[in-house]
Amino acid sequence: MDKTQEMQNNSNMDMEVNFEDALENYLNEDFGDLEEGSITPGVVVRIGKEHVLVDVNFKSEGQIPVSEFLDALGEMEVKVGDQIDVYVVSKNESEGTIIMSRERAKRMQLFDKLEEIQEKDDVISGKIVRRIKGGYTVDLGGVEAFLPGSHVDLRPVPDMDALVGQEFEFRVLKINRRRSNVIVSRRVLLEERRDSMRKDLLKTLEEGQTVTGRVKNITEYGVFVDLGGLDGLMHITDMSWKRIKHPKELVHLGDELELKVLSFDQDKQKVSLGMKQLVADPWENIAGKYPEGTRLSGKVTNLVDYGAFVELEPGVEGLVHISEMSWTRKLRHPSQMVHVGDEVEVVVLSVDPDKKRISLGMKQVRPNPWDIVAEKYPEGTILEGSVKNITEFGIFIGIEDGIDGLIHVSDISWTKKVRHPGEMFKSGDIVMAKVLTVDKENEKFTLGIKQLSEDPWTRVPDTYPVGAMVKGTVTNITDFGLFVEVEEGIEGLVHVSEISRKKVKTPAELYKEGDEIEAKVIHVSADERRLGLSIKSIKDEEDKKKAKEFRTAGPSDTGSNLGELLRQKLEEDAQR
């Protein structure tokens, strides 16, 4: 019994010794494998509200903040039992505690991957997350890299904000693990791909070939198209057979186009492209499609100072010159007749296939009203019309729609001196006149009012022959003489030299307007409309008459008559 008891006690002592040895060996072995600054595998054993416990075969589990296990949406990425890699930040052997980080483990592994990618000259995908000074920040899956603005694309980017949120492939240019700096480039990758595609394209590209490209840039003069490694230029004149003001009317950035190679310089690697060349030229056989005199309709596409362009079909426009818009209106600008977008009827006037020009007319759609006027109102016709406009040189009378006749101020009256027609007429007055001329080539229609009656000057030579004595009223006094009205509308002139035998400085010394005088006709001309009068001639005749009476008088009267004459002579001298 004692022996048995002793054996059991020995057995228990052996077990105690073996358990302590085993525990010490276990702890020493695992503890030595965990080095600070290294990455080690671990197992998630518990997920709490603030920490996740990870077992790495250490004395105690490591605590890692929950935030290092949440995805972009805030959801937990792991579950209990998942194996993950963690970074050993620090450990305390005596206390048996360890500090770990999952983010730093992922970051170190990513830097290892980036260095490998850089070494192999490989590519990595990343997402542009925001714009910063000088470029962008790119998320490479846990590491933020810097993308310089000059390395975004082959050409300057018009809208840099539009790239934020997009994913691209990049080349790794530089890595500084200590500072956690990474610089990437997209342009280097695009250049490599472009060079490769250009080499392939240059082997097959030739003039006349149909190619496909994407709109890369749009300017006022044309469009740059990426053919896949090589850019070609499509000039605005090669985009459409019809006239366009800006390429944006037809294409937009990113559009994929089918084009024709117009020219190709392999040495300079310059390609000229065209889009309109893929369809038939609408100007072929244009003279046959639109012979002169053809009447058709079209849309006004553009207005210029000298006329309006009208589209007859896509790619074919004709010009309506401003002079061909109206038979009667004198237009200052085509906008007085038409506007862009208007549908108008036109007549083909001429076609020049070589210069690709078509001359059109709008007024030719309707009869020329001047032909109607010339036929309806021949010279000599008496008509009535209302006064439409009054100017210094005459009045315009409405005859037909758009056609006015001019009554010149000189054709208003035979005798009255009209300073301004407004003295006698106002707009809207109904006037009777006689047609003088109808010139449809120069579009002139002249009328006269005075021609409705006989010219009174035609009878003046008979009524007032030379030598006749007339009486009249002074109507105007000038330095060179007196104007005397002998009857209504008929005036004669008494020149200053015909007023008196004495020297007269100005007629105003002797006469005033309204004075009644008697004069003698010394000149008359109906053609020149002139009637010359003389006051001096009357006095000369009176003196001659008195002298004759003196010579014929008897002796008994001699003394008396001589004395009378001397007395009159003295009185006249005294008056002078």
**Tens digits of per-residue pLDDT, 110-157?**
887 888 888 888 888 889 999 999 899 998 877 888 999 889 888 788
**Does residue 415 have a pLDDT over 90?**
no
Instruction: Report the C-alpha dihedral over residues 113, 115, 116, 121, rounded to 10 degrees.
Output: 120
What are the contacts of 558-566 at 24+ separation with CB within 8 A? none
Tokens 């038939």 correspond to 280
What domains appear along the chain, each with residue ranges and CATH number?
Answer: 41-115 (2.40.50.140), 120-203 (2.40.50.140), 204-276 (2.40.50.140), 283-359 (2.40.50.140), 367-446 (2.40.50.140), 457-548 (2.40.50.140)
Largest CA distance in the chain: 229
Quote the CA–CA distance of 205 and 224 in Å, as a whole number.
17
Quote the CA–CA distance of 332 and 218 in Å, as a whole number.
37
Q: Hey, CA dihedral for 130, 133, 136, 142, is it positive or negative?
A: negative
Task: Report the DSSP pairing between strands 222-226 and 231-235.
Answer: antiparallel
Binning pLDDT at 50, 70 and 90, where does residue 11 land? very low
Which residue(s) pair with 172 in the sheet? 184
When computed from its CA atoms, the radius of gyration of the chain, rounded to whole angstroms, is: 58
Structure tokens at 514: 């309204």
Report, as an integer, the average pLDDT of 190-208. Answer: 82
Quote the CA–CA distance of 570 and 424 in Å, as a whole number.
53
Residue 486 near residue 519, CB atoms below 8 Å: no
Binning pLDDT at 50, 70 and 90, where does residue 569 land? low
Does residue 68 sit in helix, strand or coil?
A: helix
Quote the CA–CA distance of 324 and 309 in Å, as a whole number.
12
**What would the pLDDT profile of 39-48 be if each residue is shown by its tens digit?**
778 888 888 8
DSSP state, residue 61: P
Residue 229 near residue 193, CB atoms below 8 Å: yes
Question: What is the DSSP track for 446-492?
Answer: EEESGGGS--GGGSHHHHS-TT-EEEEEEEEEETTEEEEEEETTEEE
CB atoms within 10 A of CB 561: 16
Does residue 399 sit in helix, strand or coil?
A: strand
Residue 46 near residue 53, CB atoms below 8 Å: yes
**Does residue 7 have a pLDDT over 80?**
no
pTM of the model: 0.45
